[in-house]
Amino acid sequence: MYGGYGEKKGNTLNRATQIQRQPGSSIKPIAIYGPAINEKLVTAATVIDDSPVYMLGVEKGLYPKNFDNTYKGLQTIRDSIRQSLNVVAAKLWRDVIGPEIPLQYLKKVGISRTQRNVSLALGGLDEGVSPLQMAAAYTPFVNKGLYYQPITYTKVEDQYGNVLLENKEIKPVTVYDEEAAYIMNSMLQDVCTSGTAAGYGTIKNAKGETIPTGGKTGTTSENIDKWFVGFSPYYVAATWYGYDLNTQIPAMEQNQALNLWNKVMTKIHSNLAAKEFSKPTGIVYKEVCTRSGELYTELCRQDPMNRAQGIAWAPIRTEMFIKGTEPKNSCSVHVIKTVCSRSTDLYGRSVLANSNCPSSDMYDKIFIHRKNPYYPVTAGAPFPEDFIYDYTEGEYCSIH
């Protein structure tokens, strides 16, 4: 219950219940993504531009940044959770969900806060959280959207059978609709299979059968705190790893939260059967383009970024939706335009052919068309990875 190296003496700090640590990205599912899905403000396929942003003002530099200081460009909510993209979570907080809804949902899962700034979306809380709070806050994702206040006993009696302490029946709090909880569950499973918890997020029973799992990693600035909050159809477990005094965790220890979670969960699932998470009835599926979140077209199969990088798969995915929130429109991000092979813009991107361009220099090209074009605000500012494939409206050949 209390953890920590060394001999335990005297009044030992219970690090499962008493510490208050910054949760980093492990806060995103319960403060940002879960609420946004449940309020039907976004879907798992909604696309947000992971591009450089200055939320504290240009004079203070880029903020927030992703953990690897890169920007992926147009990203679905599903892929943003899997990759733990800070920029997407922050933009979702600023542009879509706002400061009040996250506080309402955090309160429902036993984490009452009043913080109304973007740091909340990134896990930089005015007041930290305990592993017990985080484990309890994730239970709605595997419990049909219901939260139960965690308890450590039901009844305590003395030697004569007199009741000294008793926890009456704990009534559940509905945090999410079942469909929203299930979609969040699905996206958090991706974290374990191909995201930031890949490898450690997979557990097996004694028969070698894989137990389905989901969860979310969390890291604070300078690698001071490491978290993993993960679940199976049977249990939710939260692991925090760090020092009591804020000290950077050495590189060789930075997977220890995941490692410890995996070892404990593997042990307690040893004799449990592999089973799937229960799926509600109000889920529908659609094939969508992951650059737009809309129904795919044949142009999506010719995605220029994938082609340039030699990636065989098209950005098309079968995605799940709460019934009624599935997309109705076809992809508007992939467009085909006639360009001139001899002319480019300032950034080396192809531009439209004009009426003077000879046919020998003209050809059709597939572009990614952002609804809100990105341009660097300051000299030396970084670019999103898909920027070079973007089509900018109104720029024509300047050679002919």
Task: Please report, rounded to a whole number, the percentage of residues in the chain having pLDDT higher than 90.
Answer: 91
Report the CATH superfamily, name and number, of domain 24-268: DD-peptidase/beta-lactamase superfamily (3.40.710.10)
Q: Mean pLDDT, the chain, as a whole number?
A: 95
- Give the residue-averaged pLDDT of 64-79: 97
Structure confidence at residue 5 (pLDDT): 75
Structure confidence at residue 313 (pLDDT): 82
pTM of the shown model: 0.95
Give pLDDT tens digits for 294-333.
999 999 999 999 988 888 788 999 999 999 999 999 999 9
For residues 3 and 232, give the distance between their C-alpha atoms in angstroms, rounded to a whole number.
Answer: 23
In DSSP terms, which residues pair with 334 in a beta bridge?
Answer: 368
Structure confidence at residue 130 (pLDDT): 97
Query: Per-residue confidence at 12, pLDDT binned at 50, 70, 90?
Result: confident
Give pLDDT tens digits for 110-152.
999 999 999 999 999 999 999 999 999 999 999 999 999 999 8
Domain boundaries defined on the chain:
24-268, 283-322, 334-389
For residues 383 and 58, give the distance between their C-alpha atoms in angstroms, rounded to a whole number.
Answer: 16
Residue type, 331: C
pLDDT surpasses 70 at 1:
no
Residue 331 has what DSSP assignment? P
Q: Are 327 and 45 in contact (CB under 8 A)?
A: yes
Give pLDDT tens digits for 222-279.
999 999 999 999 999 999 999 999 999 999 999 999 999 999 999 999 999 999 999 9
pLDDT surpasses 90 at 362:
yes
Residues in Cβ contact with 349 at an 8 Å cutoff, skipping those fewer than 6 apart: 388, 389, 390, 391, 392
DSSP string, 255-318: THHHHHHHHHHHHHTTTSPP-PPPPPS-EEEEEEETTTSSBP-GGGGG-HHHHHTT--S-SEEE
